[in-house]
Structure 1
Amino acid sequence: MKNIINSVQIDLFKKHIGPFLFCFLTLMFLLLMQFLILHIDKLIGKDIPLSVIIELIFTNLAYMVVLAAPMAVLVATLMAFGKFSELNELTAIRASGIHPLKVITPVMFASLVVCAVLVWFSNDVLPEANHKSRSLFIDIRLQKPGFDLKPNEFYDGIDGYTFLVDEVDNETDSLYGITLFQEPSRTVDRAVIKAKKGLLKAESNELLTLYLVDGNMQKFPSSGGLSRVTIEKNQFDKHRITFDLADLAFEKSDPNRRNRSDRTMNIQSMLVIVDSLKQEIVQQYEKAANNTYTIPNIKYDYEYDEKYILPDTTKQEELLTTGLIVADQLKNKEAQKELFNKTTSDLNNYKATLENSASNILFRTKSINRYLVEIHKKFSIPFACVVFILLGAPIGIMTRKGNFGIAAIISAVILTFYWLSLIQGEKLADRLFVTPFWGMWTFDIVFSSIGILLLIKLSTEVSFSRLFRRS
């Protein structure tokens, strides 16, 4: 009996390995193609070194691994258990007196191993990869386009100059019908340079020389603040201008000099920040509690101030009847209005202080939730490997189909619900509608429960509908 169980377990485990590797590599390829399609416009036309593009792709493979592994587990589980049921192996082991749950044990253990590896990967590898990728994206976004002249189009990629040419010969680097607008600087005056022909020659990786033939130049020298404009015109047979292309060269910055976000930090670092934010919230509450508003005391403020003492000769009809003890004991309307204005100003200041404290507390609370969401995500997404075994095994058995098409369709439906719940849960947690725990773990808990109920039904032939009808 034990040999039969081991044989079935090994056979079922082997049925998982092939589909898992195939689905994992396929999903990685699809995610990589999606990444390239989304960002190809940021990479082309900027003379970015190939090594930098490869590094950018390599660093972005990290998040693809975290997403692709659980999805591959689901597809492989549906295919393996679908084939297991299609070949009537489940009926055979039941007839042999073997409990169906025993055959799932090796697969479940393997999913726990994958889950543990993904948790480590998400905490130690993924943040660093995200940080380097983010730094490279910033460097690429700041990179200027390369020197690329096109006929009848203005080009201003080089600081201080704007080019306009009628014709470009890419084979000889010759230009025809050249108009060059030179901006003023500390070393040169504003000028408009025209030439019938020109030749581009690269002196080095950072220097480019333009040789002009048969042209003219109009200079506009600085007039030193005078109202009149001076124009200098001259003709030339040959003229040379050298451009510094150092600004166009890609420069890779040090990622360690950039600030880290929640997705570029590990769990330990985020917990430290969460703890400091909680302490700041406590300080804000203490500050708000200590900053209380004190109502003016007539005995203290007005009893010994002749300006506010109410003489017996004051006519009562000249005063405002407020029903307030302090205000009704003042001697005239001006004093009453002054008191009202001062009290209103004090209350407005007190209100502003409380609103500022409430705003600070709300900001820090949202920040705490954002970090806690990322912490829970590092566990909930890897744990989906276990969830998809619990859910995929009974669904695969019930479909009795082990082909890729059926598994892909069912996986697409389940994964759509999974990613929608994950995205919406993150948004609701960030907006404080739900806790980070429920935002990240709702799908895992619900679908694990469904999977466990289906496994119980398949292994014991219990009908839950009968149980509910009896009750």
Structure 2
Amino acid sequence: MGKFINKLQLDLLKRHVFPFLFCFFTLMFLLLMQFLILHIDKLIGKDIPLTVIAELIITNLAYMVVLAAPMAVLVATLMAYGKFSELNELTALRSSGVNPLNIIKPVLITSGLLFVGLAWFSNNVLPEANQKARSLFIDIRVKKPGFDLKPNIFYDGIEGYTFLVEEIDNETDSLYNITLFQEPKNNKDQAYIIAEKGALVSKGSQALEMHLINGYSLSFIPPRRNVDESIERNAFQKHIMTLDLSDLAFMRSDPSDRNQSDRTMGAKAMFAVVDSLNKEIDQQVNTLVENPALYPINADSRKESFFAPNLVLPDSTRKATYVASNYLIPNQFQKVGIQQELVKESIRQAKQYKSKVESINANVEWRKKRINRFLVEIHKKLSIPFACVVFILFGAPVGIMTKQGNFGMAALISTVVLTFYWISLIQGEKLADRMYISPFVGMWTFNIVLSLAGIYLIIHLTTGFSIKDLFTNRD
């Protein structure tokens, strides 16, 4: 019997492989297409090297792996156990006295190993990939479009020049009726150039020569020593200009030089930031405690008043109106002017204190929100990979109960479950970021609910126990 069960367990594991790989790569393809559709407009028209585009795609594949793996696990589990139940193998297994839980254990253990691997990947590989992808996106965003002249359209992509060309022959790179404005930059005078014809000659990726034929130029010479500003007109049969294209080249920056966010940090680094933010909150609160709103002065000290430096406190105080306090009160003074000054000063200090409290409260609130964002990301690094285990707990009994191992049924159930799963995850993240719920509740609620549902279904399959049994009256 032991050998039979081992062979059966191995067979079930093998049944997961093809559906898992098929679904995983299908989802990766769909996520990749979604990524390209969203960002294709940022990549075209800028002469970005193909190697850079390939690197951008590869670095973004990291987050796709973390998302696609748990979804593929759910589909594979539903198909494998649905097929197992469809062929009545479960009935034969039960008649042999084998607990159905034994056929779930090896797959559950495998999902645990997958969870560990994905959690490591999410904490160590994904942040670095996100940082590189983010750096590449910024480099691509700031890159200027390549040199691209179009007929009857002003082009100012090269610093210091503005071009206008009436006609372009794309086959020979010939230009006709050229107008060029040269700005007074880089040791060059302001100039206005007109030519009947021209041609473009490439000088590598950093330079371009423009050969102008049959034209003239107007150069505006700025005033120099003992010479007023003047205009020079020069006719030419051929004039060669060298244009610097280095500003149009794609420049890579070092990802480590850019600031890191919660998506580009590992759990250890985020815990360090959280600890630092908590210390800053403590400092803000201590600052508030150490600076009270009013300054206490002993009423019996005979010392000069803080509010009335030239006044000595009277020997007798009005006991009837005296309030037991460490602070001076207006009734201790007989002069109305001093009382008014005291009240005005108290109001000023109260407003100043209120402003300080509001400022500290805003600073503390901002730091608490940052702490929540980091804690949400830390929990997410575990909760999404742990979905591999959750989907086995839920998918195995559901697949057995459906008794259908086809892809259509598995896809239908997976779509419903995953829709609710991702909605709960996204909304949980938003609510936790806004401090309505804790990061743990936001990231783990659906995992816990689905796990409990899966455990209940497994118990129901193995023992026949049902919730309604708890409410059934027994003699």
Shared topology, TM-score over 0.5?
yes
Aligned to 2:380: 377
Residue 459 of structure 1 pairs with residue 447 of structure 2: no
- What displacement does 1:328 show? 7.7
What one-letter code is carried by the residue in structure 2 that aligns with 1:12? Answer: L
Alignment partners' CA distance in 2, 1:371 and 1:465? 42
Alignment partners' CA distance in 2, 1:362 and 1:304? 35
Over residues 356-401 of structure 1, what are the superposed CA-to-partner deviations in whole Å (9 max), with x where a residue is unaligned?
2212211211111111111111111110000000111111112111
Alignment partners' CA distance in 2, 1:375 and 1:262? 9
Change beyond 3 A, Cα 1:112–1:296: closer
Helix, strand or coil at the partner of 1:168? strand
Aligned to 1:110: 110
Alignment partners' CA distance in 2, 1:87 and 1:60? 41
CA contact (8 A) 2:46 2:144 kept: yes
Aligned to 1:320: none
1:56-455 matches, within 5 Å, as 56-222=56-222, 231-294=231-294, 297=297, 300-302=303-305, 325-326=329-330, 329=333, 331-333=335-337, 335-455=338-458
- What displacement does 1:47 show? 1.2
Share of identical aligned residues, percent?
A: 60
Over residues 427-461 of structure 1, what are the superposed CA-to-partner deviations in whole Å (9 max), with x where a residue is unaligned?
11111111111111011001100111111112222
CA contact (8 A) 1:173 1:199 kept: yes
CA contact (8 A) 1:123 1:378 kept: yes
CA contact (8 A) 2:330 2:343 kept: no
Change beyond 3 A, Cα 1:12–1:189: same
CA contact (8 A) 2:180 2:193 kept: yes
Helix, strand or coil at the partner of 2:240? strand
Alignment partners' CA distance in 2, 1:255 and 1:35? 21
Alignment partners' CA distance in 2, 1:444 and 1:15? 25
Alignment partners' CA distance in 1, 2:175 and 2:342? 81
RMSD (Å), alpha carbons: 2.3
- What displacement does 1:151 show? 1.3
Helix, strand or coil at the partner of 1:239? strand
- What displacement does 1:304 show? 11
Alignment partners' CA distance in 1, 2:107 and 2:203? 64
Q: Which stretch shifts more, 273-282 or 70-79?
A: 273-282
What one-letter code is carried by the residue in structure 2 that aligns with 1:417? Answer: F
Aligned to 1:23: 23
- What displacement does 1:153 show? 1.7
What one-letter code is carried by the residue in structure 2 that aligns with 1:411? Answer: S
Over residues 87-132 of structure 1, what are the superposed CA-to-partner deviations in whole Å (9 max), with x where a residue is unaligned?
1111111111111111101100110010010011111111111111
CA contact (8 A) 1:327 1:339 kept: no
CA contact (8 A) 1:108 1:386 kept: yes
Alignment partners' CA distance in 1, 2:364 and 2:255? 31
Alignment partners' CA distance in 1, 2:472 and 2:311? 83
- What displacement does 1:342 show? 2.3
Helix, strand or coil at the partner of 2:172? coil
Q: Which stretch shifts more, 337-346 or 62-71?
A: 337-346
**TM score, norm. by length of structure 2:** 0.90
Over residues 233-253 of structure 1, what are the superposed CA-to-partner deviations in whole Å (9 max), with x where a residue is unaligned?
443322222111011111111
Alignment partners' CA distance in 2, 1:94 and 1:183? 88
Alignment partners' CA distance in 1, 2:283 and 2:102? 55
Change beyond 3 A, Cα 1:302–1:178: same
Helix, strand or coil at the partner of 1:55? helix
What one-letter code is carried by the residue in structure 2 that aligns with 1:40? Answer: I
Gaps of 5+ in 2: 315-327
- What displacement does 1:61 show? 1.0
